[in-house]
Structure 1
Amino acid sequence: MPQFLSPALFPYVFPAFAAVLGLVLGSFYSVCVSRGIAGTSIVRPASHCPHCGHPLAWWELLPLVSYLLLRGRCAACRERISALYPLIELASAAWAALAAAAFGPSWWFVAYLALGGLYIVASGIDFQIYLLPNFLTYPAAALGIAIGATRPDIGPMQAVIGAVAGFGVFWLLAAGFRLAKGVDGLGGGDVKLMLSIGGACGVLGLPYAVLVGSLAALLASPFYVLGKGRGRSMPIPFGPFLCFGAMAYILYGPALLRLLTRL
């Protein structure tokens, strides 16, 4: 057996391979984000600069590497490329590597890789236009419930109850805020997203996933407002932080339970 495939090194080799796969998938996710916002096909036309229409050569499509080589600017018009593209690629690589370390080369790795991909694309869109599209939340709901239902520690009942509870509680919160304030405090996409999170984490893990997401939103909100250069009253997308909470619980559920119960 080649040295790099030895059993002692495999726990490191597989996550490294997954990280590279995550970078490639992240490049595709960034296309899904930009074209999901524009409402155009993810297949045609070929990848191009959104400013000047310059068709991208193969060396301009290398995940993360191309952004660094081009110093964040289009090779043709020199307009700045959004930093969201490499951030999505890095997020995808990190998720793939962590999922590989947690679940190994298994069906769970494939399933969670797909679910995380939906969460990453949805988060990228929500960060920019405050919208979680149905074409992402509905497949994520089906996949999240299916994963939870097949996990021995969750099972069908906990997955379905978690999905219903997550959707129901957030629907009540959204309706109550709208009734009290006359404006939307939670978007409909956040409510639908809870179907997936409740299903994937189960009814027992749901509160902890939401708590982690809420804490992350609280910590990140000042930096988000500062980055946008707007006042305190600006809305902050909650969907990406809910996705983060769910992904953290999926990877480190037992450890999070121990940590949070000590607080």
Structure 2
Amino acid sequence: MQNFFLDITTVMQSQLWFYLTTIGLVSLCVGSFLNVVIYRLPLMMQREWQGECRLLLESELKSNKKNTNEPFSSDLNSTFNLVKPNSTCPKCKTAIKAWQNIPVVSWLFLKGKCASCSNPISARYPIVEAITALLSLVVAYKLGATEQALLYIAITWALVALTFIDIDHMLLPDQITLPLVWLALIAAVLGYTVTPADAIVGAACGYLSLWSVFWLFKLLTGKEGMGYGDFKLLAVFSALLGWQSLLTIILLSSVVGAIIGIALLTIQGKDKATPIPFGPYLAIAGWITMLWGEQLQASYFNLIGY
């Protein structure tokens, strides 16, 4: 079995087209699954919270049952996870067949409509699939057929899910961020990234830096400027890349956030006080630093004449 994997690795290292094609196709399929994660995971969390509230406040929930419009509040015992129930059209409830679920291709073939009732299918589904594949291919091309590339591709997949969940719900689920922290620490122990000491110190510094900003802002303004998920996501990157990358990620995320955030508020005509999720900007900054962090740091030091 070990020889088999060595042979596959050798082929991928020598045949770039085969390696990139494999990564691209796998990532398209993963992107299709990420659409499920992005939609269902927040609802699964909501069902869990509702179930806990029902246990603690059963009488209050029963009295208000007729007035609630929250999804799944009256059907908390039905199976709902990332696998079940099967995907269906939200309008006609027709089950989506396998050939209708081919990443990107099916959406184009169906012209963005349900095959049964012609209900429009959001273009975000193929966009998520395409983004997942494109970003994975960038990582694969930049790092080659290596263990580090596979690690960074897996993290890229998680970042895509976190980004869109945060956009939709202002939420970065622990179910994704916490495993990533442990993955980064284990990768350091196995020698794929930084030293274990840098990873541990990085995770602590990454979390505590934003945690400190959070509490300072709250003490000064009485408002919460960000969520705890942001602390954990920064801990992921600083554990993966070491505490030395912390300043680069924070500065880059602030720049990305300012540019994109202001542009979106202007285009959408919203008030500047409108809360915007910070997780996507942190994810973008961390992903860029994963691949080009050393070059960015070198350019910055050259700019300031250090």
- The TM-score with structure 1 as length reference comes to 0.88
Comparing 161-170 and 54-63, the one that deviates more: 54-63
* Structure-2 change in CA distance of 1:110 and 1:53 (3 Å): same
Larger radius of gyration: 2
Matched, 1:21 2:34: no
Aligned twin of 1:253:
293
Change (3 A) 1:107 1:133: same
Report how far residue 82 of structure 1 moved.
2.9
Partner Cα distance (1:76, 1:230) in 2: 38
Whichever residue aligns with residue 164 of structure 2, its letter is: G
Counterpart of 2:215?
175
Asked if 1 retains the 8 angstrom alpha-carbon contact of 2:148 and 2:193, the reply is no
Distance 1:123 1:100, change over 3 A: same
| Number of equivalences | 259
Q: Is the 8 A contact 1:48 1:54 kept in 2?
A: yes
Between 219-228 and 252-261, report the one with greater CA deviation.
219-228
Alignment check: 8 A CA contact 1:123 1:240 kept = yes
Over residues 29-72 of structure 1, what are the superposed CA-to-partner deviations in whole Å (9 max), with x where a residue is unaligned? 11111111221400101122234422111222111122223333
Query: Shift of the alpha carbon at 1:25?
Result: 0.7
Distance 1:151 1:8 in 2: 20
Which residue of structure 2 aligns with residue 31 of structure 1? 36
| 2:60 paired residue number | none
Q: Which residue of 2 aligns with 1:129?
A: 169
**CA RMSD between the two structures:** 2.4
Equivalence for 2:276: 236
SS at match of 1:183: coil
Match of 2:15 among 7, 10, 21: 10
Q: CA deviation at 1:20?
A: 1.8
The residue that corresponds to 1:165 in the other structure is 205
Instruction: Output aligned runs, 1:148-227, within 5 Å.
Output: 148-151=188-191, 154-225=194-265
Q: Is 1:115 matched up with 2:115?
A: no
| Per-residue deviation, 1:105 | 2.2
Q: How many Å apart are 1:228 and its aligned residue?
A: 5.4
Give the secondary-structure state (helix, strand or coil) at the position aligned to 2:114. Answer: coil
Per the TM alignment, residue 247 of structure 1 is displaced from its structure 2 partner at its CA by: 1.2
The residue type paired with residue 250 of structure 1 is M
> Do the aligned partners of residues 90 and 229 (structure 1) sit closer, same or farther apart at CA in structure 2, a change above 3 Å counting?
farther
Task: For residue 99 of structure 1, give the secondary structure of its aligned residue in structure 2.
Answer: helix
Deviates more, 1:149-158 or 1:163-172: 149-158
Q: For the Cα contact (< 8 Å) 2:12–2:19, is it kept in 1? A: no
Q: Which moved more, 1:79-88 or 1:59-68?
A: 79-88
Cα pair distance change 1:88/1:151, threshold 3 Å: farther
Q: Give the superposition deviation at 1:246.
A: 1.2
Q: Which moved more, 1:199-208 or 1:46-55?
A: 46-55
Alpha-carbon deviations, 1:72-97, whole Å to 9, x = none? Answer: 33333433333332222122102211
Distance 1:8 1:191, change over 3 A: closer
2:200 maps to a residue whose letter is V
1:153 positional shift: 6.2
Deviates more, 1:117-126 or 1:8-17: 8-17
Q: Contact (CA 8 Å) 1:149, 1:156: kept in 2 or not?
A: yes
Contact 1:149/1:158, CA 8 A, preserved across alignment = no
- Measure how far apart 1:242 and its partner are: 0.9
Unaligned runs of 5+ in 1: none
Measured after TM superposition, the shift of residue 239 of structure 1 is 0.7
TM alignment of 1:36-185, pairs within 5 A: 36-39=41-44, 40-151=80-191, 154-185=194-225
For residues 153 and 144 of structure 1, the distance between their equivalents in structure 2, rounded to whole angstroms, comes to: 8
Identity %: 28
Q: Which amino acid aligns with 1:234?
A: T
Query: In the TM superposition, what is the alpha-carbon distance from 1:150 to its structure 2 partner?
Result: 4.0
Per-residue Cα deviation, 1:194-253 (whole angstroms, up to 9, x for no partner): 221110121111211222222222221134335656333221111111111111111122
Which residue identity does 1:91 align to in structure 2? I
Aligned partner letter, 1:173: V
Distance in 2 (alpha carbons) for counterparts of 1:125 and 1:144: 21
